[in-house]
Amino acid sequence: MKQEITFKINGEACRVEVDPTWTLLYLLREVLELTGTKEGCGYGECGACTVIVDGQAINSCLYPILEIEGRAVTTIEGLRKPDGELHPLQQAFVNKGAVQCGFCTSGMIMSAKALIDENEKPTEEAIKEGIAGNLCRCTGYVQIVDAIKTVAGRGRT
Amino acid sequence: MQPCRDRREKQKGSLITGNDKGVTVAGFEYHKPHSIKEAVHLMESLDNARFIAGGTDVMVLLRQKKIAPAHLISLRNIDGFSDIGFENGLQIGGGVTLNEIVANDFMQKRYPALTDAAAMVGSRQIRNVATLSGNICNAAPSADTACPLLVLDAIVKTTGPQGNRQLPLDDFFLGEGRVDLGAGELLTGFHLPRLAMNTGSAYIKHTRRQAMDLPMVGIAARVTIKIGGNEIGCKDAFCTIDNISNILSKLEDEDLRIEEVRIAMGVVAPRPVRARKAEAALRGKVISEKLFEEIAEIAATEAQPRDSIRGEAWYRREMVKVLTKRVILKAVDRVLRPDDLIRPDRLW
Amino acid sequence: MSDWTTVGKKIAKKDAPLKVTGGALYIQDLKIPGMLYGGILYSRYAHAKILKLDTARARRLPGVTAVITAADVPNNFRFGFMKDNPPLKADRVRSTRDEIAAVAATTPEIAAAALELIEVEYEELPGIFDPLEAMQEGAPLVHEEMKSNILKIPWKLVCGDVETAKKESAYVVSDTFTTPWVTHCCLGTSGCIAVFDANTNLTMYSNTQIPSLAQNDYLDALSAFGLKNSRVRIIQCAIGGGFGSKLDTYAYEYIAILLARKTRKPVKFIFSREEEFFATSPRQCSITTISQGCDREGHLTFREMEMILDNGAYTSWGATTPSVMMMPISSLYKVPNVRYVAHCVYTNNTYCQAMRGYGNPQATFAIESSLDQLAEKAGLDPYELRLRNANEPGELTPQKFRVTSCGLKECMAEVEQRLGWKEKQGKGNGRGVGMASLIHVGGGARVYKSDGCGTIIKMDDRGRVDVMTGATEMGQGSETVIAQIVAETLGVNIDEINIINNDTDVCPWDVGAHASRSTFVAGNSALGAALKIRKQVLEAAALNMGEDQAALDIKDGVVFSTQDKEKSMTLSKVLRKAHYTPGGSMFTADYFYDPPNENFDREFKGNLSVAYAYGVHGAEVEVDRETGQIRILKYIAAHDVGRAINPLLLEGQIYGGGLMGIGYALGEKLIYEKGHLKNGNFLDYKLPTAKDVPPVEAVIVETDEQAGPFGAKGIGEPGLVPTAPAIANAIYDAVGVRIRDLPITPEKVLRALKEKAPADAGRSGI
């Protein structure tokens, strides 16, 4: 039986009818057509589906949709400034070669953002811990960590 | 991960039931009670219902079609369920997430075996929503937080139609995937008793890769020590990047005695187990390399590891020997310096 | 060189901004109106007869538009280069990834439900899962119509006289090495959308790395399906990882075509992660016996190798890996006498195809591990032995490879120095160092009759440049490198370059993104076209400016006279003048670059590539003697790349390839039991995480390859060729045990330590 929920998505209020069996990932991709968030495994094992809910990075493929009621969701689409300027993390990923095929990138950037928002000056170890749940097969992670380092220490993003 | 009813029967099912007549979205209703009473009442009154907390276990089981509940009762919106209290030691509510445990200073200092384990479960994303109670109720032999809770003498608090219960965690585990929860019963929290002075604890998780892994073997230990000789000497023993032999002989020189000890092992039996014989052999004795070799062998006999794609039995047994020594020493290190390990973590 | 404005610079990837904003469209994201979702039913058994296959209940399910089986595949169509693989299997299944039936439905959930309603009755047959067993006389046949399980592919390379060389060698070593199945684990799973238009022309939205060849494959299929005059158009979405996994066509693509034809609607397939693990084709596993010898001075005298390759139930590119394996076997180091034989054997296991390195990692693991064994026997430092036998520029190898640029010695020196080799080698105290070299094709590879790639360039009034290339961008950066080459040649800013690379209706022919050939071949092709169009531009500008063409140059989109800086004209003005003149003209240029390399002759000899990439990896490891765990303290990856057109992207290939190689060496393995995959998920298949990255240094050695665009050679694959032996050699240096079977797990190390010195092993220590 469908239910109506209200929540915030990338700063905007959203009211939508959902089936309780949906995951947040399903809502984002199939209903709201925000396809920036990816499904890499569907089991919470790869992190490609990572989005931020109330400041915390979570796997949207495992997030029951009704729990989003009243919460604020940020996806990759919500990082850019209204004038189109890239978020510092996005710009750093571009500049540092942290993007190859790009499939892990959305989830990776969201994990990085959640990390830096919580811990302004993460050490290299903390950065690796922060993205340990995001698998990448292309980059070997080195340039990803570099990119996050350039933003770390600049203050809240 | 979810606090759950007795799962003696594994249900097979599909989210969709297809037949000639049409597709029925078998689906489920999702309930969000705001009190424990409401949650228990829902469980009592609904047919084919299941509790769900963080969801990181339940959602996977649903996707794998290993369960097909008609109702999910969420525990994420229950007032007071995520409280952490410090009466009589430590009180951890059923809704407390693993990252809340990792971030808790008090737990890091006093109950570090638990924070060690919580920090190593899954990924940050998982730990942000997964609960301690869910990790325990799922009762996988590999549940990281089980062994630390066992050595910390954790008491499980439940509530249900018959009222409230308290029981030692050791009695709560019934076997692989099975815990002592009756129909309608819900795990509401854990009580970890106050620890004596000079007590330290630690957990070591033996994995293949550095993150996102299940343990091949996991061992936790808690020790209360008494130093006959010089405390500085003991601290010095850990300072050098030295091998364990040398650390042990220095501690022996300083007459470091293990007054009280608990050792628990995971993945080497259908449920996490205490190495009681090893404990008995260690209790009250002065540390020495010879003693540790004996304890390691005894602990290995108390383990019944299996061959699986995740590890070979002979190797797991060997790791029980190796890690028993290491985890006890790490726990001793914690007594000597509660804020941070003297000997770097990666060396264990 | 120093006045290059784009080449040699660390320039951000052109597609990166779109990808970091979530705007790139992968096959997962694409929807077409009226689209149906496909699903495939796979065999439950590794070897069985299908007694009954009843799809009636599935067909009746509301929302199901079509259900097909082998009976719906016309003309006994088979794909795969041996044509032994039907897209849907009839009567008999030979592996657990055999496709038996497929459905198309209005939602993915209904498709999944329909699969559950298909009734199959099997008669299980005994399966054969060991290639050594399968080779025996009287072994049950995987394909009954063949006389033997051994494929009739004559992989044999003989150079010189191995027998005599063996007898005359001062030192000889022999051993056996084995490597497992590992898989690509692209984060974006496989998928496609097949759409027919009103005239039965097919468009495939695809992830392929080989658009022109796939086009051919689909045309063959359409012909077999009764559509002889159809056209095929392939539109590539953003590709979520390739690494060779998209180098062949798969059953699901032909199934999609059949369903699209039957339903007259677009049909989409997306693999779940489980399917990606068990239904795509992994890296070829191998069993290698190797013998190597040298004289008293440590000069290599011979190398003899025999390989047995588990071919699985059907044939794909795994069976051709020996053609690449021959390369290190004959040409890594100076070895005058070489003998190599490889047998591919049918079993009821999964079948293999291309994966980054294409057989080179497997062969190099054996060769470089064995070389260290030889060094020990000869009493030589492993670095010294390598240096003594290193390839040099100008060499002709026994397989008739003409080595042009070669930075092998420089790479060795880098590793030796950065690891601190002299101080650290030979201590045996739980810490050790090891190195291993690689050779790979760096200037294309003539594996087919063509090694070509086409480029078409056109310019608009504003002076902006459209480059249509046959090269595929799958994340490695070929798009950006090509843009850099064109920008540099034309004297324009890279932002003015637009690359079109994903539509066979528009893009010129290319043989595929394989063999690390994109920078070299597509780059040279782009360079050739850019030079042509530059000439056109300068000719027109010369006329307009009243200047001698030879005196003109272009910089920042402005044509100017080198004699008189005041005389200048923007490119856009040149273009507009050309267009807006009665009887005007336009500027376009095309160039097809087919490198001057050679196909192998009947003896598998010939200059396969125009240039060869070399490299050396070195590792410093620490072995925990009690647990067998390996910690990499330092990793050096030195690569001779000719020229780094974009050091940022190049480092990305080295780091990415390196970590993939470390996974291969230390943890990755597809675990099959009697043909059933046991660890087809990210929990039990140990892909390295960010926390598993060791301290790694990427060292770029530039040797300026004359034949390469701006001196560049290929880098896509070399990054993981020597990782496993470098680590295995370091472990031997550290604790004196040699692991000959990948991956090198703690269990294997501990077991070897215990066998070596039962009293020593397990003693407390680091």
pLDDT (tens digit, 9 = 90+) per residue, C501-527? 999 999 999 998 898 899 999 999 999
Query: Residue B9's pLDDT band (boundaries 50, 70, 90)?
Result: very low
Phi, psi of C518 (to 5 degrees): -65, -50
Q: Where in chain B is the domain with CATH 3.30.465.10?
A: 84-193
Assess contact for B320 and C627: CB atoms under 8 A: no
Q: Assess whether pLDDT exceeds 70 at residue C765.
A: no
Of B146, B154, B207, which is closest to residue B177 (Cα–Cα)? B146
How far apart CA B47 and CA B30 sit, in angstroms, is 13
Q: Assess whether pLDDT exceeds 70 at residue B16.
A: no
Determine contact: B95 vs chain A, CB below 8 A. Answer: no
How far apart CA B124 and CA B103 sit, in angstroms, is 12
Q: Which CATH number fits domain C286-445+601-756: 3.40.50.2020, 3.30.365.10, 2.40.30.10, 3.40.50.300?
A: 3.30.365.10
How far apart CA C370 and CA C435 sit, in angstroms, is 12
Determine contact: B76 vs chain A, CB below 8 A. Answer: yes
**Domain C16-23+452-593, CATH class in plain words:** alpha beta
How far apart CA B56 and CA B60 sit, in angstroms, is 6
Cβ-defined contact of B210 to C679 (cutoff 8 Å)? no
Q: Where in chain B is the domain with CATH 3.30.43.10?
A: 16-74
The CATH fold assigned to B16-74 is 3.30.43
For C95, C129, C182, C670, C679, the CA distances from C673, given in Å and listed in that order, are: 12, 9, 15, 10, 10
Residue to test with chain B: of A3, A7, A63, A67, most B Cβ within 10 A: A67
Taking the CA of residue B27 and the nearest CA in chain A, the distance in Å comes to: 6
B199-343: in CATH 3.30.390.50: yes
Q: What is the pLDDT of residue B21?
A: 55
Determine contact: A57 vs chain B, CB below 8 A. Answer: yes
Residue tagged 């694409």 (tokens) = C30
Of C110, C671, C765, the CB nearest to B23: C110
Element (H, E) at B138: helix B132-138
Q: What is the pLDDT of residue C764?
A: 44
Query: Residue B340's pLDDT band (boundaries 50, 70, 90)?
Result: confident
For all residues of chain C together, what is the average pLDDT?
Answer: 95
Taking the CA of residue C764 and the nearest CA in chain B, the distance in Å comes to: 6
Share above pLDDT 70 across residues of chain C, in percent, rounded to a whole number: 99
Query: Residue B346's pLDDT band (boundaries 50, 70, 90)?
Result: confident
Stretch C346-367: mean pLDDT: 97
Collect all residues with Cβ–Cβ distance below 8 Å to C3 and sequence separation of at least 6.
none
What homologous superfamily is domain C31-125+190-270 in, according to CATH? Aldehyde oxidase/xanthine dehydrogenase, a/b hammerhead (3.90.1170.50)
Least confident of A122-136, B2-16, C450-464, C591-605: B2-16
Q: What is the pLDDT of residue B6?
A: 30
C chain contacts of residue B16, beta-carbon cutoff 8 Å: 109-110, 112-113
**Burial code of C541-553, b = ≥16 C-beta within 10 A, e = fewer?**
bbeebebeeeebe
Of B290, B283, B239, B294, which is closest to residue B258 (Cα–Cα)? B283
β-sheet bridge partners, residue C589: C457
Determine contact: A60 vs chain B, CB below 8 A. Answer: no
| Regions of chain A short of the pLDDT cut 70 | 154-157
Of C667, C679, C746, the CB nearest to B309: C679
Query: Residue C566's pLDDT band (boundaries 50, 70, 90)?
Result: confident
Residue B283 structure tokens: 């209790």
Residues, chain B: 348
Tell me which chains share at least 3 CB pairs under 8 Å with chain B. A, C
Q: Where in chain C is the domain with CATH 3.30.365.10?
A: 16-23+452-593, 286-445+601-756
Q: Where in chain B is the domain with CATH 3.30.390.50?
A: 199-343
Q: What is the pLDDT of residue B8?
A: 27
How far apart CA C360 and CA C254 sit, in angstroms, is 30
Least confident of C230-239, C610-619, C623-632, C755-764: C755-764
Of A7, A135, B73, B79, which is closest to residue C687 (Cα–Cα)? A135
Most confident of B236-245, C141-150, C401-410, C560-569: C401-410
Taking the CA of residue B115 and the nearest CA in chain A, the distance in Å comes to: 15
Residue tagged 């399966």 (tokens) = C127
Stretch C70-93: mean pLDDT: 94
Taking the CA of residue A5 and the nearest CA in chain C, the distance in Å comes to: 23
Query: Residue B2's pLDDT band (boundaries 50, 70, 90)?
Result: very low
A chain contacts of residue B56, beta-carbon cutoff 8 Å: 44, 59, 62
How far apart CA C19 and CA A103 sit, in angstroms, is 8
Cβ-defined contact of A64 to B129 (cutoff 8 Å)? no
Count the alpha carbons within 13 Å of C610 in the hemisphere toward its beta carbon.
Answer: 24
Stretch C307-313: mean pLDDT: 97
Q: Per-residue pLDDT tens for C33-62?
A: 999 999 999 999 999 999 999 999 999 999
Q: What is the pLDDT of residue B345?
A: 80
In what order do the strands lie in the sheet containing C612-623?
C431-441, C612-623, C630-640, C696-701
Q: Per-residue pLDDT tens for C655-692?
A: 999 999 999 999 999 999 999 999 999 999 999 999 99
Assess contact for C411 and C616: CB atoms under 8 A: yes
Nearest CA in chain A to C476: A100
Q: What is the pLDDT of residue B5?
A: 30
C chain contacts of residue B251, beta-carbon cutoff 8 Å: none
Q: What is the pLDDT of residue B18?
A: 58
Helix, strand counts (H, E) of chain A: 5, 5
For all residues of chain B together, what is the average pLDDT?
Answer: 91
Query: Residue C766's pLDDT band (boundaries 50, 70, 90)?
Result: very low
Task: Identify the CATH number of the domain defined by range B84-193.
Answer: 3.30.465.10
Q: Which amino acid is at C616?
A: V
Cβ-defined contact of C656 to A41 (cutoff 8 Å)? no
Q: Where in chain C is the domain with CATH 3.90.1170.50?
A: 31-125+190-270
Residue tagged 């088979």 (tokens) = C78
Collect all residues with Cβ–Cβ distance below 8 Å to C7 and sequence separation of at least 6.
C484, C485, C488, C643, C645, C646, C710
Tell me which chains share at least 3 CB pairs under 8 Å with chain A. B, C
Q: Which domains are delineated in chain A?
A: 3-78 (3.10.20.30), 88-151 (1.10.150.120)
Q: Per-residue pLDDT tens for B76-126?
A: 999 999 999 998 999 999 999 999 999 999 999 999 999 999 999 999 999
Cβ-defined contact of A97 to C13 (cutoff 8 Å)? yes
